[in-house]
Structure 1
Amino acid sequence: MKRRQLLALTIALSASAALPAFAQDAAKPYAGTTLAVLMEGHPTTDGIQALLPEFTKETGIEVNLEVVPESDITAKELLEFSSGSGRYDVVQNNIIFIPGFVKAGYIDPLDDFATKFPKDYDKTDFVPGYLDTNIIDGKLYGLPVYGESTFLMYRKDLFEQYGITPPKTFDEVAAAAKTVKEKSDGKTVGITMRGAQGIQNVYVWAGWLWGYGGEFISKDGKSALGSDEAAKSLDAFGDVLRNYGPVGVANFGWEENHTLFQQGKAGMTMDATVNGAFNEDPSVSSVVGKVGYVPVPAQSDKLKGGSSSLAVHSLYVTSASKQKEAAWLFSAWATAKEQQIKSFGIAPNSGVTSQGAMNSDEFNKRYGAFKEAMLASIAKGNPQYLPTVQAANEIINNAGIAVSKVLAGTATAKDALAEANMANDEALAR
């Protein structure tokens, strides 16, 4: 069954899966073990960090959790892996890096652990499409700790006030952004998106790239960023942010972007579905109940369902770990339904990977305002929204430089992408 077919099954979520039973052996065979874990700064991580004392109480395993920004984690992991430091037992990252990690021998398959510890791993509870992305050549390499798609978020109150229809194309996004900025006399920016160089700006621009009919890599394995479609998408992305976006947007990462929108200072944003949890959290947001959600638009007629992404971030047991069974137990515990449900009360976390958690009363109560749009985006999400090849990190970095040049106005989209295209072909040929 294809990934998108599997994703479609997530609409019929089931809450019947049994909770994993951790540390039922009173002997606690791994008591006294200390794990070094590296994770991204994210609401999911906040929840896990707060619940760590429960894991230690149940297993006797201590966890030293190091948290770094998503934009820094890949470079840090590659440095540690290549140096052979053996510093971490468990690391987290986007599934786009799995092929490279597997080929280089940085992470271990998990199938034997899943078989040895069946009570601690409920395969049937994971959203199928999320788990499926962690399988390489028939082997399971990661457990999905959070998943998300992307959607367009817009201020329903402003759209109604100014007579704007929710956009279905990027031309309509630009028109809506222009209207909001002009009719608010510049008090509200038309749109905000991530502009910071690297994974931040590429993550969001990728929706525009696919939405214009472009792609990162062609079917023959060559870089496709030199195409007319890619140039048109980056021209449009750059124009809308320069003309209708906030001051300093070229430095906006995920946090700056969602904060500006939830403060009521932007008419639209395009970002991860997890952002909906922040929009609807009255403790941090001034736009609760005022936001509409739709899948990312598409300019190309070929993409009727929009151009939303499918992103999955997983936990991996490193090959260098000297305590792999304990590392597996932590990974299984951190991704289990019971921890995911508990996380709702700790941090805004709608990016759960458990079907039971996603179908719980608590999830529906907190995130019902955008759940339908989130599931629609996930069901049609593109798992290739970022390149899933060994050279993914280089490709993303090169593309990020091109996006930054266009936002800064120092190069045209065509010239900036031509340079990135050449660099990416070199990376793919290695």
Structure 2
Amino acid sequence: MKTTLSRFTALVCAWLFCAGGAHAQDTLRVLLEGHSTSDSIKAMLPEFEKATGIKVQAEIVPYADLTSKALLAFSSKSGRYDVVMDDWVHGVGYASAGYIAPLDPLMKADAGFDRADFVKSYADTLRYKDRYYGVPVYGESTFLMYRKDLFAQYGIAVPTTFDQLLAAAKTLKEKSGGHMAGITLRGGQGIHNTFSWAAFLWGYGGQWIKDGKSAVDSPEAIEATKAYVNILKNYGPIGAANFGWQENRLVFQQGKAGMIIDSTVNGGYNEDARESTVVGKVGYAPVPAQPGSHPGGSSALQVHGLYLASASKHQQAAWQFISWATNKQTQMKSVEINPNAGVSSLSAINSEAFVRKYGAFKDGMLAALKNGNPNYLPTVPQATILINNTGIALSQALAGTLSAEDAMAAANRQNDKALAR
């Protein structure tokens, strides 16, 4: 412990020297996403404050409220938040609007900052016009998680196509007498249903944008929508149309669904005996795809970064916080504090603690990250608008108020208007 503290103190000294003198009286306001990563950072804040003299007021809000809260602060240019955490889907919009500052000079001046320690695909994602605008604090891909005990009992092969996924979901529900959902997916309007649906979109050979135009009404996208609606309505759990990430993972962890497609970080919760009833019973496999679709396209690559607000009056201190919160020592400790399989540090991923806790799915996670699709969700400044429009259409298709064709056609028109701005 003394050795770890000495390393931490030495790094802090390097940050203080290289940052050009952040002041001990600085108080930072940091907006964080409701996530195990944020909980770990908050738990370790007293160490950072004691070593630097910098006070940190950390505000943790649900993901659904995060972006609107950040945008309100950014657009007012109030400097309300010095550091904001969000995924790059929204981060690219912040960068294009000038709300967040490029970090290249700060990275270069910081002797304690080790870019090579980050998962390369994570670090490379947080770039806009050849400049880094964020440091990855956690990331994830997606995989198919399935009850390997039930697959063996019912003689089900691990699905590699969406047709096979549908058949497996049907078997699981019927063999359980209807007491178990065949599969659970996110259905909540907005980022959640689009996140689940995007696996079908790419897996059926579709894409969000083609030749600068929205493509969510293509034949492939419509087939993907029909498949998503069909499997969720017929073999999903009751209430799935309102599920976000948490509701979705809890259904699977509680043994109420035989399969789930969701984030690789879910593996940490599946294997946590404190809250899961399926420990040791879960298999991990690539997300299915139809023959001829984009190779690896149906698996996500999502990166959540820490961004420095352009309007911050404490930019040197804010960088110190970002550098500390993402360094290998902090991330290695975070693995021990909470279920945190989404760490972005290679040292943390390869640590003894990570292997001990998450060895059951580590290889599957790394394979998913290697093959993850960085365009799984749109990466244009209008991304939030595209996701919202498409999320509304998916909710209408799920509710049956519009056909898949009509719903996606309406979304496509709205998306094209947004892209033309």
In 1: Cα distance, 2:105 partner to 2:180 partner = 54
- For the Cα contact (< 8 Å) 1:151–1:271, is it kept in 2? yes
Sequence identity percentage: 57
Matched, 1:295 2:283: no
Other-structure match for 1:4: none
In 1: Cα distance, 2:221 partner to 2:8 partner = 46
In 2: Cα distance, 1:104 partner to 1:428 partner = 15
Match of 2:217 among 226, 229, 250: 226
Alignment deviations for residues 230-270 of structure 1 (CA, whole Å, 9 cap, x no partner)? 01001100110100111111111111111110011100000
Secondary structure at the aligned position of 1:239 is classed as: helix
Matched, 1:144 2:136: yes
In 2: Cα distance, 1:277 partner to 1:405 partner = 33
Q: CA deviation at 1:300?
A: 3.5
- For the Cα contact (< 8 Å) 1:20–1:336, is it kept in 2? no
In 1: Cα distance, 2:114 partner to 2:172 partner = 47
Match of 2:163 among 160, 171, 182: 171
Match of 2:82 among 69, 89, 92: 89
Match of 1:188 among 170, 180, 204: 180
TM-score with structure 1 length normalisation? 0.93
What is the number of equivalent residue pairs in this alignment? 411
- For the Cα contact (< 8 Å) 2:182–2:236, is it kept in 1? yes
RMSD: 1.5
Match of 2:409 among 393, 413, 418: 418
Alignment gaps of 5+ in structure 2? 1-6
Matched, 1:43 2:41: no
Matched, 1:238 2:224: no
Match of 1:23 among 8, 12, 18: 12
Alignment gaps of 5+ in structure 1? 1-17
Secondary structure at the aligned position of 2:146 is classed as: strand
Quick one: which amino acid aligns to residue 49 of structure 2? T
How does 1:20-419 map onto structure 2 within 5 Å?
Answer: 21-24=10-13, 29-119=22-112, 121-218=113-210, 220-305=211-296, 307-419=298-410
- For the Cα contact (< 8 Å) 2:202–2:376, is it kept in 1? yes
In 1: Cα distance, 2:291 partner to 2:25 partner = 57
In 2: Cα distance, 1:421 partner to 1:401 partner = 11
Q: CA deviation at 1:84?
A: 2.1
In 2: Cα distance, 1:234 partner to 1:161 partner = 31
Q: CA deviation at 1:96?
A: 2.0
Secondary structure at the aligned position of 1:24 is classed as: helix
Other-structure match for 1:11: none
Task: Tell which deviates more after alignment, 69-78 or 289-298.
Answer: 69-78
Q: CA deviation at 1:287?
A: 0.3
Q: CA deviation at 1:304?
A: 4.5
- For the Cα contact (< 8 Å) 1:113–1:328, is it kept in 2? yes
Secondary structure at the aligned position of 2:361 is classed as: helix
Quick one: which amino acid aligns to residue 338 of structure 2? A
Secondary structure at the aligned position of 1:92 is classed as: strand
Other-structure match for 2:4: none
Quick one: which amino acid aligns to residue 360 of structure 1? S
Alignment deviations for residues 77-136 of structure 1 (CA, whole Å, 9 cap, x no partner)? 1122112222100001111223321221100011111222222x1111111111011122
- For the Cα contact (< 8 Å) 1:207–1:308, is it kept in 2? yes
Q: CA deviation at 1:29?
A: 4.6
- For the Cα contact (< 8 Å) 1:274–1:349, is it kept in 2? yes
